[in-house]
Amino acid sequence: MRGVGYDTFWIGEYWIRHFVFDSLEDYLAYLQKAETHEAFLRGAQASEAGSEEFTLTESLDEAIELCRFGWHDGFNDLVALVEKVKRNLDIKIDPNRTYHDYVGFAPDVKAYLEGSPLTMINKPVVHKPLVTIYMNTSYAGNEPRERIYARGAIVLAAAEALELMGFMVDLRLFEMSYVDKDIHFSEYRLKMPDERVNLQKLYFPLCHPAWVRRLNFRLIETSPNMTDAWAGCYGIPAEASMIRMVLGLGKGDILIPTIEEMKLEGVEVLVDAQKLFDRINVGLPKDKQLVLR
């Protein structure tokens, strides 16, 4: 399928099953067409059997439609939460200064009428530094919705804040889980580095339980050469050490691991935000750290 890649490889004693989806639509189209692997035909598939309480959806089809068109329920609450975090950040906003020139992106009528030769408004070419954030969107089966929601909101707030500070943000979302030495790894290219953060588009993947508990479960159910061990548990979310091994990340690379590993509480968003910012700051210059007032 166009926009979908799959390969397998070994890293030491670990067997990696690796998916890449070039867009959200490519991912959803794959899930709707892929056939269930025989290992998951012996019982109910979790992508459909999951309860509404567990997934916040009634069915896999509902989850796909919410993901495709944006999850609207509670979106205003997300925006408010993101803004609360950004308001409490002590950041220096990158100025978007303009100047008059012979050429530019817009005319200055006043300057033209005054006879000035510099009648166009222009702005300097800015070479923005790149910040890459790797985020495992997976989490444990007993993870409460409040902590899932909080982590997603804080990551979105951080990405927006970094853009305001003059960075390009490459937000690399993925799912990584394992059974013994068998690792299931799927990457989703949902944001390009030169693309601004789109809350509506990223809301569902980062904040909604059905991203993992219906969509990712469906991907596991349809993956090639799966085993009964996967059908029994759908995998364990990968820890930071395993992720860094598979992705080849060093200590200075920014990684957002599982909610449990970061000890997020989902009660006071600013407390959780500081824990998450500490993870991001390892990859930022000393004078451009994410610091709460």
CA distance 61 to 40: 18
pLDDT at residue number 186? 98
Residues of the chain with pLDDT under 50: 99
Which letter does DSSP use for residue 34 in this model? P
Q: Are the beta carbons of 28 and 47 closer than 8 angstroms?
A: no
pLDDT at residue number 250? 94
The separation between CA 221 and the C-alpha centre of its own chain, rounded to angstroms, equals 22
CA distance 130 to 193: 7
Beta-ladder partners of 292: 89
Alpha helices in the chain (DSSP H): 24-33, 46-49, 52-55, 60-69, 75-87, 109-113, 145-164, 199-207, 210, 217-221, 228-233, 240-247, 259-262, 269-281
pLDDT at residue number 239? 96
Instruction: Name the token pair of 210.
Output: 């059905």
Which residue reads 């920014």 in tokens?
254
Report the candidate in 148, 170, 145, 161 with the shortest Cα–Cα distance to residue 272. 148
Query: Mind listing the pLDDT tens digit for each residue in 69-107?
Result: 887 777 888 888 899 998 998 877 655 555 455 556 567
**What's this model's pTM, rounded to 2 decimal places?**
0.87
pLDDT at residue number 103? 59
Strand 99-101 relative to strand 120-122, pairing: antiparallel
pLDDT at residue number 77? 86
Instruction: Name the token pair of 219.
Output: 């991907």
pLDDT at residue number 142? 95
